[in-house]
């Protein structure tokens, strides 16, 4: 039997106000309050309760699509679902448990890097924290160790793969264009990936310079594009016929798309997915499985090397998140994305200044500030109290003011990590809601830095932001947008606190 694996990447950028923790109204999501609510009603919820409808239009039964597909959810999205739609959240967790029991101990869920930052663009320390927080969030929610971690935008380089190997992960999912060359295991002769692309019908082994390995699955690119963009979800029978045509490549047919494809991007895509996997694919003889179970039966017999700095959504590698490469979504044809480079430069500057303060002030109070940051996810998840956290990480018994200083420093680092959420660069315009959102995180970082007597950072940040120009003349530049949309009035007026 040919294995069939459909992976859904379910993700929305964090939208919480960094001061209140609440999501403000987003008019573009109307009639819903915000985009999380809209996409929940169009995708996350419907896939948890998908209907199987007979030829007479009668609902025969309800199925949980998450029990039939490989999937990942962004940690910040799961946190929101847990609070706002607990029944959907429970169905997601239950689907992983069900698949774990059915598939030899391999659950359908995989982890995701915490803040959806482009990992190859992170410095080593931030890349590590993004991965560690994603793994900790997964263990907290699913009650087991993950076998894989979804790389945001599948953005990959060798340093990132080495990090995943070091964390004991078993496999990763990449786009076919990210493969560089391959060879049979034990062979010395590499084969360059030609115009026809790499064979996606099998698993590959990636080896680092120390001989450690991780399996890589490359999803079927043309099939994934058909599902995501070419209306392949119009008919479950036609979709499965496409699976059958792709089955000649090997022992595996696998695709990966945004999970929101099923219901949000394509209306009734959740119903098509349910019918395809519950009925037509089984009748066609497919073995519906996940990557972990597949690896048990078919361990890699080929080795692969990947392109450095590559992704699934930028033809230029990872320039979509740092330069005006031509890749964008939405906007007028005359617009440019020259704002991307100065935006990243401003945020890099702010990150580095925040890191200096965190390390210098943190080491006065904490045994190891960076280890404390890595472990702070346990507090953010409510898995550990702040007092318990301090008992493990503080150098000594701290005064109440010192405790508040530690809390502020860690809050600063949390927001500094979220500043690099990839969606801020993905679209066409500097003043978009995703970019304004990460400016709010920057404003929170600046606010905390001012509390530690570093008000000049704000002026330097604004100078750098002014180099980022909006495509809409009345919006001005990045500094204008930051002051108007991201920085609350109290940032300027709130007094600093000191150690005295």
Give the integer Cα–Cα distance in Å for 73 and 163. Answer: 21
- The pLDDT of residue 498: 43
Other Cβ atoms less than 10 A from the Cβ of 316: the count is 13
**CA angle in degrees (0–180, nearest 5) for 259-302-110:** 25
State the alpha helices, DSSP H only, in 180-235.
221-229
Specify the pTM: 0.96
**CA dist., res. 288 & res. 362, Å (int):** 50
Type and span of the H or E element at 150? strand 149-150
State the sign of the Cα–Cα–Cα–Cα dihedral 444, 445, 447, 448: positive
Which class for 80: exposed (0-12), middle (13-18), buried (19 or more C-beta within 10 A)? buried
Task: Give the whole-angstrom CA distance, residue 239 versus residue 273.
Answer: 9
Q: Is the dihedral of CA 34, 43, 312, 333 positive or negative?
A: negative
Query: Whole-angstrom Cα distance, residue 47 to residue 42?
Result: 9
**Amino acid 489: pLDDT:** 53
- Residue from 47, 59, 61 nearest 94 by CA: 47
pLDDT of residue 56: 76
* Helix intervals (H) in 363-476: 369-375, 377-380, 386-393, 400-418, 423-426, 433-451, 456-465
Residue 434 has which token pair?
Answer: 């995703």
Cβ atoms of residues 20 and 12 within 8 Å: no
Query: Which of 413, 471, 469 shows the shortest CA–CA distance to 444?
Result: 413
**Which stretches in the chain have pLDDT values below 50?**
492-500
Find out whether 445 and 353 touch, Cβ atoms under 8 Å: no
302 with 184: CB under 8 angstroms? yes
Q: Which helix (H) or strand (E) holds 192?
A: strand 191-192
Query: Where are the domains positioned within the chain?
Result: 3-306, 325-493
Query: Is it true that domain 3-306 has CATH number 3.30.1360.70?
Result: no
Q: Sheet harboring 302-306: ordered strands across?
A: 171-174, 213-218, 204-207, 302-306, 179-184, 191-192
CA distances from 82 to 22, 24, 381 (A): 14, 18, 11
pLDDT in tens, 439-482: 999 999 999 999 888 778 999 999 999 999 999 999 999 999 99
Residue 196 has a pLDDT of 87
CA-CA distance, 10 to 18, in Å (whole number)? 22
């Amino acid at each position: 039997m040919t294995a069939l694996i459909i992976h859904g990447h379910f993700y929305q950028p964090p939208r919480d106000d960094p001061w209140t923790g609440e999501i403000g109204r987003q008019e573009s999501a109307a009639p819903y309050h915000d985009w999380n609510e809209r996409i929940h009603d169009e995708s996350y919820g419907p896939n948890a309760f998908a209907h199987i409808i007979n030829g007479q239009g009668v609902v025969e039964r309800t199925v949980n699509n998450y029990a039939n597909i490989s999937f990942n959810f962004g940690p910040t999205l799961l946190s929101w679902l847990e609070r706002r739609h607990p029944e959907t959240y429970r169905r997601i967790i239950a689907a992983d448990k069900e698949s774990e029991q059915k598939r030899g101990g391999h659950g359908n869920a995989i982890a995701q890097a915490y803040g959806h930052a482009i990992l190859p663009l992170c410095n080593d320390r931030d890349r590590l924290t993004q991965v560690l927080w994603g793994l900790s969030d997964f263990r907290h929610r699913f009650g087991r160790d993950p076998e894989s971690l979804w790389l945001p935008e599948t953005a990959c380089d060798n340093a990132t793969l080495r990090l995943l190997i070091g964390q004991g992960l078993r496999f990763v999912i990449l786009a076919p264009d990210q493969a560089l060359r391959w060879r049979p295991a034990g062979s010395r002769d590499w084969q360059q990936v030609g115009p026809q692309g790499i064979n996606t019908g099998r698993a590959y082994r990636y080896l680092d310079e120390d001989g450690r390995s991780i399996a890589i699955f490359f999803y079927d690119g043309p099939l994934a594009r058909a599902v995501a963009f070419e209306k392949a979800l119009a008919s479950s029978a036609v979709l499965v016929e496409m699976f059958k045509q792709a089955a000649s490549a090997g022992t595996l047919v696998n695709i990966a798309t945004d999970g929101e494809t099923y219901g949000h991007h394509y209306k009734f895509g959740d119903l098509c997915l349910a019918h395809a996997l519950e009925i037509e694919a089984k009748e066609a003889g497919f073995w519906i499985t996940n990557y972990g179970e597949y690896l048990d039966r078919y361990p890699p017999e080929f080795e692969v090397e990947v392109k450095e700095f590559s992704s699934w959504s930028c033809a230029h590698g990872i320039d979509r998140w740092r330069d005006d490469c031509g890749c964008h979504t939405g906007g007028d044809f005359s617009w440019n994305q020259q704002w991307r480079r100065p935006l990243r430069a401003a945020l890099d500057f702010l990150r580095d200044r925040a890191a200096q303060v965190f390390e210098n002030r943190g080491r006065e109070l904490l045994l190891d500030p960076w280890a404390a940051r890595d472990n702070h996810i346990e507090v953010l998840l409510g898995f550990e109290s702040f007092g318990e956290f301090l008992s493990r990480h503080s150098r000594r018994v701290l005064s109440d003011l010192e405790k508040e200083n530690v809390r502020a420093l860690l809050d600063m680092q949390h927001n500094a990590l979220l500043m690099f959420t990839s969606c801020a660069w993905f679209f066409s315009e500097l003043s978009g809601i995703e970019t304004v959102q990460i400016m709010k995180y920057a404003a929170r970082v600046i606010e905390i830095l001012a509390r530690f007597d570093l008000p000049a950072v704000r002026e330097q940040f604004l100078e750098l932001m002014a180099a980022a120009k909006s495509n809409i003349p009345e919006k001005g530049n990045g500094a204008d947008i930051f002051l108007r949309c991201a920085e609350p009035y109290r940032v300027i007026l709130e007094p600093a606190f000191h150690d005295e």
